[in-house]
Amino acid sequence: MRYYILNIFFIIAGVAELVDARDSKSRGGDTLSVRVRLPVPKNNNKGSIMETADCIFCKIIAKKLPVEIVAENDEVVVIKDIAPKAPVHYLIIPKKHIADVSSVEQADIPIVGEMLLMAKKLAKGLSGSQAFRLIANNGPDAGQSVFHLHFHFLSGKKMLDF
Ligand code: 5GP
Ligand code: ZN
C-alpha cells in the first residue's frame, strides 16, 4: 500500500504516467500492483535545459547545485570558475547541453552567438581594462574536463603569453 501511495503521489505530481494498475483482491489476494512510466527528456533544440544525468554544468543550470550566478539569459548562464586562473575567471555556459565545440551544429549557432554577446556584456562590466581572453578547450588532450560546452572568460591581468 505504501508503494501504491508513493506511485500515486508521483502521478499527481506529473512526474510519472500511470501505465497499469492491478488489484489482486478480485483474485483472492491482497496486493495492488501499479506500473508507471517515467518521462524521457526531450531535446527541442531551442536551447532549453536538457540535463544529462552526470553533467555538473547541467546540474548547476537546473539550480540543483548551489552556485553564484554572475549573469543569465534565456540561452546562457555565467558562473565564476571554482579554480580561477585569473583575477576574473568566468565560465560562459549554454543552457542547452552541447558536449564541446566539435558537437556544435548549424542550429546551435544562435546559442554560440549568445555566448559571444555575453562575453561582450561581461567585458563592459569589468573595472579597469576591458581586455579579456576567451578559451574553449575541446577534448581531453586540449584540457577539457567538463564535457558541456563553455567559454572561459579570463581578465584582470595581462595575458601576453600566448
Ligand atoms: P575545462 O577544463 O573543461 O576547460 O573547464 C572546466 C572548468 O570548470 C574548470 O576550470 C573547473 O575549474 C571548472 N569547474 C569544474 N567544476 C566546477 C564547479 O562545480 N563549479 C564551478 N564554478 N566551476 C567548476
Ligand atoms: Zn550538461
Task: Give 6 Cα–ligand 2 centroid separation in angstroms.
Answer: 30
pTM of the model: 0.74
Q: Is the Cβ–Cβ distance between 122 and 93 less than 8 Å? A: no
Percent pLDDT > 70 in the chain is 69
Known active-site residue 148: no
Q: Per residue in 99-126, pLDDT tens?
A: 999 999 999 999 999 999 999 999 999 9
Give the pLDDT mean for 37-55: 51
Tell me, using a 6 A CB cutoff, whether residue 145 lines ligand 1: yes
Task: Please give the pLDDT value at position 142.
Answer: 98
Lowest-confidence region among 52-61, 77-86, 90-99, 117-126: 52-61
| Statement: residue 22 has pLDDT above 70 | no
